[in-house]
């Protein structure tokens, strides 16, 4: 039996919308271990405690927006190595890149494209 004992990649998702979190859970739960945070400060806290392999951020997070969160993640030696995928309805790819984002996808969710981008970022890391 060639059972794969490697644990699934860990994703941390910063998303304030419960509907979107539920949708992402259904898309990602089979392949990944997923944690959610509904505000910027919680993303920063969980990034340190959960040690994800990838962080997915909505820009429109309460308290600290996705840009501020990404900037702080990339400025912290504990979390700077974690790739950040922005997933937002805002057309702000240039700004996302400026703060250290590794990739940008615009909503709505396109499952195949979304999973392909996640795999690409996980392979880089």
Flag whether pLDDT at 124 surpasses 50.
Answer: yes
Give me the sheet containing 10-14, strands edge to edge: 33-37, 10-14, 54-57, 84-88, 103-106
7-14 mean pLDDT: 96
Q: What is the model's pTM?
A: 0.93
Q: Are 77 and 109 in contact (CB under 8 A)?
A: no
Flag whether pLDDT at 80 surpasses 60.
Answer: yes
Question: In the prediction, which pLDDT does 5 show?
Answer: 58
Flag whether pLDDT at 13 surpasses 80.
Answer: yes
CATH number of 10-124: 3.40.50.2300
DSSP 50: H
pLDDT per residue as tens digits for the range 56-66: 999 999 999 99
Flag whether pLDDT at 2 surpasses 70.
Answer: no
């Amino acid at each position: 039996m060639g059972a794969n004992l490697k644990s699934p990649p860990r994703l941390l998702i910063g998303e304030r919308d419960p509907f979107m979190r539920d949708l992402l859970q259904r898309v990602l739960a089979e392949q990944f271990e997923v944690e959610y945070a509904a505000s910027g400060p919680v993303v920063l806290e969980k990034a340190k405690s959960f040690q994800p392999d990838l962080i997915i951020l909505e820009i429109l997070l309460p308290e600290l927006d996705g840009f501020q969160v990404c900037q702080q993640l990339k400025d912290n030696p504990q979390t700077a190595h974690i790739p950040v995928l922005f997933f937002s309805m805002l057309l702000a790819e240039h700004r996302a890149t400026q703060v250290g984002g590794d990739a940008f996808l615009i909503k709505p969710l396109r499952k195949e494209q979304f999973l392909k981008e996640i795999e690409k970022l996980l392979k880089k890391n």
